Amino acid sequence: MSPPLNPIFVTLTLPSSFSFSNLPFSLIDDLLIRLNSNQYWVTSTFFCYLIKIYAEADLPKKALNIFYKILEFNIKPLPRHLNRILELLVSHRNFIMPAFDLFNIAHK
């Protein structure tokens, strides 16, 4: 029997001097693993914030991985997820093709 689905509410308050480049992103990876393995209910908004955090930290590969993680949580990506990730990917020369591939897959 799987554990009950429990909503988790996380509030993150950052000082104005906060820099995303100092954020320990491995903690986010660990959190996602634990949330998924314990079958916690996670909202699509949570993933939107994660994509935004990685975008602001200028980490397109991490943001793209988060986009695909949405599916592991049985959440259908919303247009805002797709728009945010595509905007980030096309701003990086090395991610033009992954952006194009993602756009094509999303519109099938």
Residue 2: per-residue pLDDT: 46
- In this prediction, residue 96 has a pLDDT band, given cuts at 50, 70 and 90, of very high
Asked whether residue 13 is assigned to any structural domain, the reply reads no
Nearest to 51 by CA among 41, 64, 42, 40: 64
Asked whether residue 18 is assigned to any structural domain, the reply reads no
Average pLDDT, the chain: 81
Asked whether residue 5 is assigned to any structural domain, the reply reads no
Q: What percent of the chain has pLDDT over 90?
A: 29
The three-state (H, E, C) secondary structure of 48-63, written as one string? HHHHHHHHHCCCHHHH
- Number of structural domains in the chain: 1
Tell me the whole-structure pTM to 2 decimals. 0.72
Asked whether the predicted pLDDT for residue 91 surpasses 90, the reply is yes
CA 34, 39, 40, 45 dihedral sign is positive
- In this prediction, residue 1 has a pLDDT band, given cuts at 50, 70 and 90, of very low
Residues of the domain holding 82: 26-106
Asked whether residue 63 is assigned to any structural domain, the reply reads yes
Asked whether residue 2 is assigned to any structural domain, the reply reads no
